[in-house]
Amino acid sequence: MTLLEKSWTLALFVASVISSAWRPTMPDWRWLLLGIITTGSIIKLRRGLISIGVIVGFMVVIVHGNIMEYQRQALFQAGENSTIIGRVDSSFTQISHGYEGVVAIKQVNTHTLLPFLKPKVRLITPFPLAVNSEFTTNVLIKPIIGHRNEAGFDAEKQSMGSGVVARAVVTKDSYWVIRT
């Protein structure tokens, strides 16, 4: 019987996480408190243990969605033209108008970001940067706009899956400070 309950708990967890794609809005952080209290009550009273999968699934989605929203707000609150300090996470590949790679942003203008909430952006530069090198430069930050369509490549869905929250293009008159 216990194995059956654990299987249902896991199935309900997966179902609640997958169903988050069809929710119109992301709940606020305050809903986590309700989830924690409910989970604690269920464990203490030993009633409704099967529903823990749904509650924990919703809590995971709330945490992940709010972290991505914080990262997006941290990038765009400084405006489009920003000076960033970042670290290269992936190797740069050549595209038709330069090089493109994923970087983690440590600082936007004078606003230092929290260590565990660093946003990742897709950076487009005129030359490649080495992996794990740190840099300072001026960029134009743009949101990633996809069509969220069923047919063809969807840039927004692919970026969300890899944790990339924006696109940054190096301005023509920018300066560089690169530390490898």
pLDDT reported for residue 146 = 66
DSSP-derived secondary structure for 98-132: EEEEEEEEEEETTEEPPGGGPPEEEEEESS---TT
pLDDT reported for residue 162 = 72
Q: What's the average model confidence in pLDDT over 13-33? A: 83
Q: Is the pLDDT of residue 38 over 60?
A: yes
Q: Is the pLDDT of residue 20 over 70?
A: yes
Which DSSP category does 151 fall into? S
pLDDT reported for residue 174 = 81
Q: Can you tell me the distance from the alpha carbon of 169 to that of 137, in angstroms, rounded to the nearest whole number?
A: 10
Mean pLDDT of the chain: 83
Residue 99: band (very low, low, confident or very high) from pLDDT cuts 50, 70, 90 = very high
